[in-house]
Amino acid sequence: MHCMASGAANSTMAAAAVTRRTNAGLLHVEGAATNGDGGGEGGESGRWTPAAKRPVVDDGGKGDVWVAVDEADVSGGAAAAGCEDGGRPPLFRTYKVKGSILHPYRFLILVRLIAIVAFFAWRIRHKNRDGAWLWTFSMAGDVWFGFSWVLNQLPKLNPIKRVPDLAALADQHGYSSGEDNKLPGIDVFVTTVDPVDEPILYTVNTILSILAADYPVDKYACYLSDDGGTLVHYEAMVEVAKFAALWVPFCRKHSVEPRAPENYFALKTQTYKGGAPGELMRDRRRVRREYEEFKVRIDSLSTTIRQRSDAYNSVKNVKDADENATWMADGAHWPGTWFEPADNHRKGHHDGIVQVLLNHPSYEARLGSPASVDNPLDFSSVDVRLPMLVYISREKRPWYNHQKKAGAMNVMLRVSARLSNAPFVINFDCDHYINNSQAFRAPMCFMLDGRGGGDGTAFVQFPQRFDDVDPTDRYANHNRVFFDGTMLSLNGVQGPSYLGTGTMFRRTALYGVEPPQYGAAASQIKAMDKANKFGSTTSSFVSSMLDSANQERSITPLGTVDESVAGDLAALTTCAYEYGSSWGRDVGWVYNIATEDVATGFRMHRQGWRSVYCSMEPAAFRGTAPINLTERLYQILRWSGGSLEMFFSHSNALLASRRLYPLQRLAYLNMSIYPIVTIFILAYNLFPVMWLISEQYYIQQPFGTYIIYLIGVIAMIHVIGMFEVWWSGITLLDWCRNEQFYMIGATGVYPTAVLYMLLKLVTGKGIYFRLTSKQTASSSSDKFADLYTVRWVPLLIPTIVVIAVNVGAVGLAMGKAATATGGLLSQQAWFAVLGMVFNVWILVLLYPFALGVIGQWGKRPTVLFVALAMVVAGVAVMYVAFLSPYDQAEWSAGVAAALGQAGPLTKQPSGS
Ligand SMILES: O=c1ccn([C@@H]2O[C@H](COP(=O)(O)OP(=O)(O)O[C@H]3O[C@H](CO)[C@@H](O)[C@H](O)[C@H]3O)[C@@H](O)[C@H]2O)c(=O)[nH]1
Ligand SMILES: [Mn+2]
């Protein structure tokens, strides 16, 4: 029991080891101050309400936490008070945490550092004579906890917030489309795999939100990569292109927000902008009707295609080998996968496809037509052009390792280079739609900022925000501690890590080029090409790379897709293209790792690039998150497994050159080894079992002093945590959820990840990670049905065992306290109660997990408490009946009896 006490305590020390996405989160504070909708929590925050007149960008300056940094300091004193380039105002403002919060925060970190050193020194001076192995193990554990705390804490010393200034961008780079618009081009990438696992409605919404974004329509192009190669996706895009002709002008005419139709029509409150609200209501009603019809067409695509194919197949020569072909609307065989898999037309085995669905628009604005009988919407003053839209499905062959998302991204990078070749690239997952139409402009403020260094920025990362998370965010899906705490801290070092979605890149950085201070991009590209790093390059591809180094560049208008273009595209999407090249290592997204995102961002930081964290209000993007316990655990299994893989790869932070900032290196090291701590956490959590075997184990003596030290270092970690809650602006609930989910991960997922990693090291076989399944939106009446669904997998077992052990331990502690010689005030009773406090603490942390595994019962958790009380009482009674007083023979008999009925028990150590 005593041992248990320290176990819990120490794991709490580690619990603050805030690591990649093991954390939770809430609503954005900064924004709350500026646009009247700060209210709601979780899912609803950052949505549009009538109060938000114009997309408001997070104004970090307001509030009582962040203070503006003198811009002259930021630019190394070179610029006169924030102006350079002939008085051009800067495109973003920088804020730091004000001194009255920052200084005590840093001071506490220092004090705790001293405290843990003193603690270790004391432990070494008071080495246990009996149970030395336990002492050694726990010492190793504590040293590891301390070390990971340092890795986690030091990069947080200097949180920085940077706020884009969209007005300044508009002044300098032309706002209105048409005349003198100097905004650069952007290629937008979206990835999807399967129209069922990733409901196609999400993808459709995402694409529509991109097409309707507030960015010069001739300056960006949208690419969808479909790794499933299904005709359903392709035809959905055909439908999208048609519906966009209505949706996009409608969005422009009334400046609606957000521009993803599903989310727009789901809004309860409406924004009244522009002219007559009456006209908006009329138009809206019409568009909504069209949208409902559009959705019906999308939903029935799979049936439509099947029926069409059946019809064709029955007419055509049935003896033909292609008797089960899937047919396109124009009467041709679909080159991708077929409903009835056939050679060269099944999953993982089909040709590459590139289809331009909407070509690059003209440079001249084109106004729509006035209202008429067939078209009741008046678009006569609205530009009705649509941006370019391209469907891609790369070639797939069974003998080739496709590298999942990373492979898909690299193909998109090449295809887009040939078709539009924008100097900037922004990517998101199919379930992340644009929630703020300014989302493409904001990152430009960082990329184009004139103060030396804008061009040293490789990527701009937006936080991930999620819809449809249960209101109490049971499994810490919002991850605010990570997004608003850890990422803002890194923003003050070299920049946030790349998080896979909602990220704008400088194209040359993706090609593996080093930042400008280490040589001109053009000469680097030439040298890399000579070294054959880009693969079997066509010369046009290399020249496109040279072009894309110009950050002022727009996009290449694509004429017709003639034979030479088609030939290039075919070559760029093949598996063979990358053979013998550096794709997946020095070029493009990084391969052979479950978390390609962190590794890819790491390569850039390692080369000396910087990155910027950009949060907007309302949130730039919103996505979906897994609210089912099993799905969520699988997701963090992939993240934690990927982290470990990173450590055992060429992306190990210790191997990076000196261009990686020291604190950034610590942060990456932390990000890649955090799951290891689980070995100690799990051991501590399971220690009570040991008291069955022997009674003499002590972690540390004298026990009283030990407890005081522990309480001290644990309390400090929480006080420091409160400072972080303060400056990051998250809520206490976010913070608590984060602590809880950390413990849940540490008891089941991280040990599994460590095992996987060991297996990989031994067998050389990579880790298989599955796609995170998306909630099936709108299908069920209960929005949060997934929360109450239990999917049993072995991954759940370790945590269940930990819960059982700790519940048993609480019962025992009660039994002990009740039977203590000398009554309730004796030291024996006191220790028992102390131990119990920590067991209870573990149980509180694991509570969301317990709710998860009881499924539907979780809606009325009283059941859980009744069951808990009964088990605890049962164990306590059994202790009193069999184990006390301490007669050894009786004790053994008691253990035998208890083991038969109630699981693990502990025995009061003698002589305490
Ligand atoms: O073979 C594949 C597998 C996945 N994807 C796409 O990759 C994206 C992310 O996959 P998902 O399973 O949804 O992963 P999440 O756990 O939701 O993703 C988070 O974590 C990933 C890294 O582990 C990042 O790549 C993601 O951007 C980030 O949102 C989705 O758009 C998929 O369509 C592909 O294109 N091809
Ligand atoms: Mn996802």
pLDDT value for 903: 34
pLDDT value for 165: 92
Which positions ≥6 away from 241 have C-beta within 8 Å?
Answer: 357, 358, 386, 389
Give yes or no for a contact between 195 and 161, defined as CB atoms under 8 angstroms apart: no
Q: Which residue has the higher pLDDT, 221 or 700?
A: 221
Q: Is the pLDDT of residue 23 over 60?
A: no
Which positions ≥6 away from 656 have C-beta within 8 Å?
Answer: 602, 605, 606, 665, 668
Give yes or no for a contact between 802 and 689, defined as CB atoms under 8 angstroms apart: no
Q: How far apart are CA 728 and CA 743, in angstroms?
A: 22
Q: Which residue has the higher pLDDT, 32 or 899?
A: 899
DSSP string, 364-387: S--B-PPP-SS--S--TTSB----
Q: Report the pLDDT averaged over residues 253-266.
A: 94
Neighbours of 797 (CB within 10 A): 12
Query: Is there an atom of ligand 1 within 6 Å of 405 CB?
Result: yes
Radius of gyration of the chain (CA): 30
pLDDT value for 73: 54
Q: How far apart are CA 474 and CA 530, in angstroms?
A: 53
Q: How far apart are CA 780 and CA 785, in angstroms?
A: 7
Q: Is the pLDDT of residue 59 over 80?
A: no
Give yes or no for a contact between 522 and 513, defined as CB atoms under 8 angstroms apart: no
Take atom 27 of ligand 1 and give the residue whose Cα is closest.
500
| Among the ranges given (54-58, 149-153, 191-195), the one the predictor scored with the smallest mean pLDDT | 54-58
pLDDT value for 76: 43
Q: Is the pLDDT of residue 795 over 70?
A: yes
Neighbours of 5 (CB within 10 A): 29
Mutate to test the pocket of ligand 1, among 395, 469, 771 (most ligand atoms within 8 A of CB): 771
- Provide the pLDDT confidence category of residue 321 given band limits of 50, 70 and 90: low
Q: Which residue has the higher pLDDT, 191 or 770?
A: 191
Q: Is the pLDDT of residue 200 over 60?
A: yes
Cα atoms found within 13 Å of the Cα of residue 182, Cβ hemisphere only: 12
Q: Report the pLDDT averaged over residues 808-829.
A: 77
Measured CA to CA in angstroms, residue 716 lies from 6, 378, 710, 726 at distances of 16, 63, 10, 15
CATH label, 167-629, candidates 3.30.530.20, 3.90.550.10, 3.40.190.10, 3.40.50.150: 3.90.550.10
Q: For residue 356, list its beta bridge partners.
A: 390
pLDDT value for 726: 94
Q: Is the pLDDT of residue 378 over 70?
A: yes
Take atom 21 of ligand 1 and give the residue whose Cα is closest.
500
Beta strand pairing call for 503-506 and 457-461: antiparallel
654: tokens are 């210790």
pLDDT value for 27: 24
Q: Is the pLDDT of residue 276 over 80?
A: no
Q: Report the pLDDT averaged over residues 666-676.
A: 96
529 is in an annotated binding site: no
pLDDT value for 500: 95
Report which ligand 1 atom has the smallest distance to the Cα of 408. 35
- Provide the pLDDT confidence category of residue 695 given band limits of 50, 70 and 90: low
pLDDT value for 6: 33
pLDDT value for 175: 54
Q: Which residue has the higher pLDDT, 280 or 690?
A: 280
Q: How far apart are CA 25 and CA 725, in angstroms?
A: 10
Residues recorded for the chain: 912
Query: Is there an atom of ligand 1 within 6 Å of 595 CB?
Result: yes
The 8 Å CB, 24+ separation contacts for 110-116 are 111/716, 112/713, 112/716, 112/717, 112/720, 113/150, 115/709, 115/712, 115/713, 115/716, 116/146, 116/149, 116/713
Mean pLDDT of the chain: 84
Residues belonging to the active site: 227, 597
Query: What are φ and ψ of residue 190, in 5° steps?
Result: -130, 135
- 626 Cα–ligand 2 center, Å: 8
Q: How far apart are CA 266 and CA 507, in angstroms?
A: 36
Measured CA to CA in angstroms, residue 437 lies from 112, 209, 240 at distances of 45, 8, 18
- Provide the pLDDT confidence category of residue 85 given band limits of 50, 70 and 90: very low
Give yes or no for a contact between 142 and 123, defined as CB atoms under 8 angstroms apart: yes
| Among the ranges given (105-109, 212-216, 340-344, 650-654), the one the predictor scored with the smallest mean pLDDT | 340-344
From the list 768, 596, 641, the residue with the least C-alpha distance to 191 is 596
DSSP string, 845-900: HHHHHHHHHTGGGGGSTHHHHHHHHHHHHHHHHHIIIII-S--HHHHHHHHHHHHH
Which positions ≥6 away from 183 have C-beta within 8 Å?
Answer: 169, 173, 174, 215, 216, 219, 441, 444
Burial class (CB in 10 A: 0-12, 13-18, 19+), 317: exposed
DSSP string, 635-667: HHHHHHHHHHHHHTSTT-GGGS-TTS-HHHHHH
pLDDT value for 698: 62
Q: Which residue has the higher pLDDT, 145 or 318?
A: 145
Q: Is the pLDDT of residue 478 over 70?
A: yes
Query: Is there an atom of ligand 1 within 6 Å of 396 CB?
Result: no
Percent of the chain with pLDDT over 70: 82
Mutate to test the pocket of ligand 1, among 193, 497, 775 (most ligand atoms within 8 A of CB): 193
Query: What are φ and ψ of residue 599, in 5° steps?
Result: -65, -40
pLDDT value for 288: 96
- Provide the pLDDT confidence category of residue 238 given band limits of 50, 70 and 90: very high
Give yes or no for a contact between 241 and 204, defined as CB atoms under 8 angstroms apart: no
Cα atoms found within 13 Å of the Cα of residue 110, Cβ hemisphere only: 6
- 744 Cα–ligand 2 center, Å: 21
Take atom 8 of ligand 1 and give the residue whose Cα is closest.
429
Q: Which residue has the higher pLDDT, 823 or 566?
A: 566
- Provide the pLDDT confidence category of residue 508 given band limits of 50, 70 and 90: very high
Helix extents (H) in 375-515: 404-419, 441-447, 480, 487-491, 507-510
Q: Which residue has the higher pLDDT, 768 or 468?
A: 468
682: tokens are 């799990």
Beta strand pairing call for 466-467 and 388-393: unpaired
390: tokens are 């391209």
111: tokens are 């004090």
227 is in an annotated binding site: yes
pLDDT value for 489: 96
From the list 727, 662, 911, the residue with the least C-alpha distance to 96 is 727
Mutate to test the pocket of ligand 1, among 20, 191, 402 (most ligand atoms within 8 A of CB): 191
Query: Is there an atom of ligand 1 within 6 Å of 408 CB?
Result: yes
Q: How far apart are CA 615 and CA 625, in angstroms?
A: 19
496: tokens are 């946030």
Maximal C-alpha separation, the chain = 97
* Domain parsing of the chain, residue ranges: 167-629, 793-902
- 191 Cα–ligand 1 center, Å: 8
528: tokens are 């890399």
Q: Which residue has the higher pLDDT, 890 or 781?
A: 781
Q: How far apart are CA 190 and CA 221, in angstroms?
A: 11
Beta strand pairing call for 186-192 and 424-429: parallel
Q: Is the ipTM of this complex over 0.90?
A: yes
pLDDT value for 771: 79
Q: How far apart are CA 710 and CA 12, in angstroms?
A: 10
Question: 440-452: per-residue pLDDT in tens?
Answer: 999 999 999 877 6
96 is in an annotated binding site: no
Question: 842-872: per-residue pLDDT in tens?
Answer: 999 999 999 999 888 888 888 888 888 888 8
| Among the ranges given (87-91, 392-396, 523-527), the one the predictor scored with the smallest mean pLDDT | 87-91
Q: Is the pLDDT of residue 95 over 70?
A: yes
726: tokens are 């303060």
Helix extents (H) in 45-188: 71-74, 99-125, 132-153, 166-173
Burial class (CB in 10 A: 0-12, 13-18, 19+), 842: buried
Q: If you average pLDDT over each of 120-134, 366-380, 485-499, 878-892, which comes out highest? A: 485-499
- Provide the pLDDT confidence category of residue 214 given band limits of 50, 70 and 90: very high
Measured CA to CA in angstroms, residue 229 lies from 285, 353, 391, 453 at distances of 35, 8, 10, 41
Take atom 23 of ligand 1 and give the residue whose Cα is closest.
595
Q: Percentage helix, strand, coil, to 5, in the chain?
A: 50, 10, 40
- 405 Cα–ligand 1 center, Å: 6
pLDDT value for 449: 87
Instruction: Pick left, alpha or beta for residue 608 (phi over 0 → left; psi -120 to 50 → alpha; otherwise beta).
Output: left
Q: How far apart are CA 91 and CA 447, in angstroms?
A: 9
pLDDT value for 81: 40
Give yes or no for a contact between 779 and 768, defined as CB atoms under 8 angstroms apart: no
760 is in an annotated binding site: no
From the list 174, 182, 168, 162, the residue with the least C-alpha distance to 90 is 168
Q: Is the pLDDT of residue 46 over 60?
A: no
Give yes or no for a contact between 395 and 352, defined as CB atoms under 8 angstroms apart: yes
Q: Is the pLDDT of residue 144 over 90?
A: yes
Q: Which pTM value belongs to this model?
A: 0.88
Q: How far apart are CA 549 and CA 698, in angstroms?
A: 64
| Among the ranges given (391-400, 740-749, 779-788), the one the predictor scored with the smallest mean pLDDT | 779-788
pLDDT value for 172: 85
* Local structure of 309: helix, strand or coil: helix
